[in-house]
Structure 1
Amino acid sequence: MEPTSIKPKLEAVLGATRRLVAVSDLAQYLGTSLDEMEDGLRAFEDDLRKPDRGLRLERNRGTVGINVKPKYEPLVARLFPLRAPNLTADSIETLAVITLMQPITTKTIAMIRHVSDAWVTVQNMARRGLIAYSYINGARHWHVTQAFLDRFDLVSSAELRDEAVFQDTFPTVPLKIWHLKTESVLELETKPPVEPTANKEFELVPKLRPLSKESLEVLAIIVYRQPVSLADINTLRKVSSNGPLQTLRRRGLVVSNKTGKNGEMLWSAAPAVWEMFHPSSRLGGHR
């Protein structure tokens, strides 16, 4: 089946379901092979990336769906309050600040936004896998992830140096933030990367240094067995793993976006995990 003939069917099915659907299920429903389905999805995604389209293709660990492009979410929220965008105005402004000033601390984010504390908003973005952190001079510094770039249809955060791109990407964010930060963006991106504090035990993955041995063990199980339930993790480790699992969730390193046959939550690695490794070492071809 040609990709052009698959595109309208994908748009109809995904638009009707309004949820993530497994690629394998789509191939079965539409009577195509997985390769043909992937070709159709790529063609559909390329079509949705055009500036005259208001939807975007969303991918998540073997599932796909369509959603509103971020710049049109405020419009949808005004027309349909019950469908308000899943990113608040505070979250979008926080992401804009992080993108322009990365790497940046939570304290500096709060100072720039003139709020008393940005911790809650930053943690929410981390749980969604849109930002991740590393330690620089002993302090936690935040940066955006590939999941952020995918969500906002960006190839690189450097694109936001352009005022028009910034306004198009973050229409609700005050332009004064862009004017205040543009010079700093140029300076930060020309500096050599700062090496995290050396740590022999975790020197191969320095960004994992603050995680405990238990959390690292749980993360390794999730990476290799995902999606996996807490019960299965407990069985493999032969000890209760809820504590380490919740630590990983708070850090935005794991997500639960589906349930098993018995209704239990299934856990997978968040995009932030893959930011910790060199692209050539990403497991299972995860982007």
Structure 2
Amino acid sequence: MTTEYAGTDEAAVAPPTLRRDLEAVLMVVDQPVSEYDLAKALGVPLDVVTRTLEDLSREYTEQGRGFDLRAVAEGWRVYTRPECADIVEHFLKEGQEVRLTQAALETMAVVAYRQPVSRGRVSAVRGVNCDGVMRTLVLRGLIEESGHDPESGALLYRTTSYFLERLGLRGLDELPDLAPFLPDDIEGLDDTGEHN
């Protein structure tokens, strides 16, 4: 659906895929994104992006969706509606006594052995974006925020006492040694596991 917006000398027309593209981006970001950054990334005028975001937010509310698109000080982000918070928390904590996925186990291992560590560093080590998995591990109480990196300002994460309890460990010093699992040609690897 193409939407025309008046308000400037010429009516700005939203590309037919703008709503879809905005939703796709907003579903994967882990922090609010500014209208300017969205407009720049999608190659659409700022006022068109702003009005489309406002329309989407209003529609989600009118339709009674379980999520909400909110403008906060730093930009726009999708949030769980407050009235759904209890059910989401129940699902992620008590309601899901299932095994962790391979991705979650790998992500948790990177945090355990490299803590405190940022999401970006975990993603670099694993070679894939780990934001969603990290959020799940935080919600399950296995990892937690532990301050900010003094150089980059990135949020850092560490394992929790619940993590130790679930693994039956008294402390991190009881984690198994990784040396037997590393390749023989470990010389020349940087801290992401890539060859220099």
Question: Same fold by TM (over 0.5)?
Answer: no
Higher-RCO chain (CA-CA 8 Å, sequence separation at least 6): 1
Larger-Rg structure: 2
